[in-house]
Structure 1
């Protein structure tokens, strides 16, 4: 356990980097680490570098794995299962095939046109952005492995339950008719070489960094401000653990946010440090990730309003329940 703790501290939490940045702030900039300015600069530099390092390594590794799971192969795999097993498999595949929200329309069309039950498709679409492996490991680097693993479990449960309810509700008629009119042709996938997979993974790192770098800079900046400049009394007055409305409030705030989980994590870290409940910050992260406004706008192009409202309502209620649950049992994880 001591070896595991050391590896966790040095590889994920990067305490060596924190010490180096502390030396830079103290000796290079001549600032006291215990002041607001010195603490803010340390928080900002350390978190930005740590997130970019972890993100690059994780996205490269996960993209290499993802090269074995094209949307076509994922669709064929899901067709082998039925019932609750199919929804569970859809949710599990979503964790290792982190297609971004911009892929929701072609994935929805492909899965639905292939004859997959609509519930399986939604289990996949809930899980894929919510519990991808990169965000899970980043959560472990900021909080603990207990929290990260619990986050995965509840995210998969939410995806399975949400997809199952949508399937039982027989919502196929609320899919836009053109979705069923796109003929699919099974084309044998060209076998990628190891070099091809490395090239693909490197390209994914560049593409994702281009998409999220601004959110990371802004998110870490907000986190540094919360951590060092906003008094704890103000945070507690708004989102304290004794405030019953904190979970639904941050969930509703997170829905319209145009952000990314990698930019939201530093904010979550700072909020927890100020005494905000664990469930409250996890609800914020989940809402931003699973219910972002851009993904809902894209999804509206292929489903009718009643199905979109049901999907949004199920995920919102699920996130709120998860938030209250984590707040009630936070002592088990911290």
Structure 2
């Protein structure tokens, strides 16, 4: 039997001495991928249905909005016929699904351009601040939680533990738009060190600092609180006690032996936070006039009643969330194969 037949203690492995078969792990990955892809297809089908039905709940008539308030009833009906809004709901659904399968969400009622083209122009801006916020909250949240967990190990420095819990609890409970407004007042109005909103007159990197900070600071506090609790539990595990007994270097002790266990919890939490961040990003973009999906959706819903743009935007947001969640699940599987859900011998 080779040395590779045994799993070393740590995340993603069974108890010491239990053999792990490569074939079994490969089978777990196949099952995992089949299950995730099937789930992704089901969720995409539901997303298409939801994006079709969601516009039915929006008050107002797009035909009236396009024809104008001064239009006659006949003119409004003509616009409604041209848009296909006079068709029965099942017919509209079939037309919509047939187009979505081909990547066609229809033309914008206002701009007379493909709705997806309008949405995809704004997507890079939303992804820029959202992905940056997720990476920032993971790095800083894990680092802060680990540092506080190690510093307060064994009920040491209770004042630090209490202060950390109170401060992070308060910050994480503040709505994102309130933080965003506060940042504008402090950093743009009072101190005048950062631009208050996106504008071609400002450097895009400088303009992105406040939106990213607004999105990430609450998540940093949430992740740090969870990681701090997980750190306290892990530090009391037998393998960590043994590692301390061997007087391993600090970097080896905490980065090699403790961090992989924390990553499983942090990445799982980040998948939940990501979905919330996408929603918060839409509001934050409005505060900072950021040219992302938030402005596109608000304009399409509140002003234009632009159904194709609304559907395309909601679909893209849902698709981003599904894909990012799948990527996080795959990373979790690489870090800890037990999350694959497969059986081991």
TM over 0.5: no
Q: Which has the higher contact order (CA 8 A, sep 6+)?
A: 2
TM-score by length of 2: 0.27
TM-score by length of 1: 0.28
